[in-house]
């Protein structure tokens, strides 16, 4: 029978952990990547441990894709929960080869293979592991070890993948090397992932939904871009505030090396190597890279000036304002942030509801999800 509503992950974990009080409730779709984001010590790992059943807080609830894992009368032990868990440090069996490590938790019987089961060859290809299979984990780099740990978790055929700061033990270069692999997993697998991080860069690259935490509590839950552009939340007022869009490639101009990308409420021109029409790319537009004009700019080197409407304005400090824009001539597209001086705001006589042109000085384009730049 077909489910009436899309499958979701419902969690409400309440209780004391030593001197720390956790009171975190959220519902997110059981699809895509949900980022669990917040400062160090706010309770992210504790939530993950509760989801895994490694921490039992009586009186809490947890339901994943319609299956109750915890309520007043149920508490599934960790080994009965269909989860994969990837930790900060990959703990591989040193005496086994990479291949044996990968197969360690894989189900033995093929009798009841699920339709959405991920195959060995697919995991090897997605994570670029083919040349490592006969090696010992002792001779792998930190990034390679982590890719093997992710592969092993996937091959256990989980219904939910939990990742606890999987990149935080790696240096910047290695992180940048692994992120495209995670983006490929995201694009190709339907497995829901809860991804804990305190690094906004990882969240911006990977997350579809966000659970924003602070001091053991959930501050907000929703689609990434919605929370990024909410002026009442800390992300929007941060100095490096930005909004991410999932964009579709419309065309490529070989003369100028420019991609035309369709986003909700407009089109962007972005310098890039060629990409195929229909490919999905994630773009990031920083609030500090957006300026506003009353008229369409005629003589300007800026590639992107999109019609938009001012949805709201909030002061930041004494001399700046944070403007939330909705893209499109009717202002019914995606939300964008602009950080302006209060002087510019006053000089242009801007106000909520006014139609403007959002001039975008820079658009950061994540590497393609096929792993190429």
Q: Which residues contact 114 (CB under 8 A, 6 or more apart)?
A: 157
How many residues in the shown chain lie near ligand ATP by CB under 6 A?
12
Which 3 state secondary structure label does DSSP give 191? coil
Residues 26, 34, 37, 45: which binds ligand ATP (CB under 6 A)?
45
The b/e string for 275-311 (b: 16+ C-beta within 10 A; e otherwise) is beeebebbbbbbbbbbbbeeeeeeeeeebbbbbbbbb
Q: Is 44 in the site for ligand ATP (CB under 6 A)?
A: yes
Q: Is 198 in the site for ligand ATP (CB under 6 A)?
A: yes
CB of 276 to ligand ATP, least distance (A): 38
Choices 16-24, 122-130, 292-300, 303-311 (CB under 6 A): range interacting with ligand ATP? 16-24
CB of 269 to ligand ATP, least distance (A): 38
41/66 with CB nearer ligand ATP: 41
Residues 12, 42, 126, 218: which binds ligand ATP (CB under 6 A)?
42
Q: How far apart are CA 32 and CA 35, in angstroms?
A: 10
Question: What one-character-per-residue DSSP string does 8-25 give?
Answer: EEEEEEEEEETTEEEEEE
Q: Is 178 in the site for ligand ATP (CB under 6 A)?
A: no
- Please, are residues 271 and 338 in contact by the beta-carbon 8 Å criterion? no
Residues 43, 53, 166, 368: which binds ligand ATP (CB under 6 A)?
43
Q: Is 217 in the site for ligand ATP (CB under 6 A)?
A: no
Question: Within 189-333, where are the H helices?
Answer: 200-206, 224-228, 234-237
Distance of CA 183 to the CA centre of its chain: 9
How is the chain split among helix, strand and coil, in percent rounded to 5?
25, 35, 40
Choices 40-48, 74-82, 296-304, 318-326 (CB under 6 A): range interacting with ligand ATP? 40-48
Q: Is 8 in the site for ligand ATP (CB under 6 A)?
A: no
Q: Is 40 in the site for ligand ATP (CB under 6 A)?
A: yes
Q: Return the number of other C-beta atoms located less than 10 Å from residue 269's C-beta.
A: 15
Q: Is 110 in the site for ligand ATP (CB under 6 A)?
A: no
Could you list the residues that contact ligand ATP (CB under 6 A)?
Answer: 17-18, 20, 38, 40-46, 198
């Amino acid at each position: 029978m077909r489910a009436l509503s899309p499958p979701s992950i419902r969690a409400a974990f309440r209780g004391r952990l030593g001197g720390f009080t956790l009171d975190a409730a959220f519902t997110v779709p059981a699809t895509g990547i949900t980022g669990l984001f917040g400062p160090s010590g706010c309770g992210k790992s504790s939530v993950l441990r509760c989801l895994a059943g490694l921490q039992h807080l009586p009186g809490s609830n947890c339901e994943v894709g319609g299956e109750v894992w915890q309520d007043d009368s149920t508490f599934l032990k960790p080994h009965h929960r269909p989860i994969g868990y990837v930790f900060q440090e990959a703990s591989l069996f040193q005496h086994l080869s990479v291949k044996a490590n990968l197969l360690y938790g894989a189900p033995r019987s093929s009798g009841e293979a699920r339709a959405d089961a991920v195959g060995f060859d697919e995991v090897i290809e997605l994570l670029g592991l083919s040349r490592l299979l006969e090696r010992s984990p002792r001779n792998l780099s930190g990034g390679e070890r982590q890719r093997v740990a992710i592969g092993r978790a996937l091959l256990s055929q989980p219904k939910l993948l939990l990742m606890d700061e999987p990149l935080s033990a790696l240096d910047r270069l290695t992180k940048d090397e692994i992120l495209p692999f995670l983006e490929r997993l995201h694009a190709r697998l339907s497995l829901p992932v809860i991804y804990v991080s305190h690094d906004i860069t990882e969240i911006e690259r990977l997350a579809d939904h966000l659970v924003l935490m602070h001091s053991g509590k959930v501050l907000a839950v929703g689609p990434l871009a919605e929370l990024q552009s909410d002026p009442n939340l800390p992300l929007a007022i941060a100095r490096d505030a930005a909004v991410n869009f999932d964009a579709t490639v419309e065309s490529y101009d070989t003369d100028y090396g420019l991609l035309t990308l369709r986003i909700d409420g407009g089109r962007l021109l972005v310098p890039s190597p060629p990409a195929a029409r229909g490919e999905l790319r994630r773009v990031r537009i920083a609030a500090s890279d957006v300026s506003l004009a009353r008229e369409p700019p005629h003589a300007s080197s800026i590639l992107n000036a999109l019609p938009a409407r001012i949805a709201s304005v909030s002061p930041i400090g004494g001399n700046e304002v944070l403007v939330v824009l909705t893209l499109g001539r009717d202002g019914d597209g995606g939300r964008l942030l602009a950080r302006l001086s209060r002087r510019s705001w006053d000089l242009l006589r801007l106000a909520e509801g006014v139609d403007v042109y959002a001039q975008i000085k820079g658009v950061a384009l994540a590497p393609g999800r096929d792993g190429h730049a």
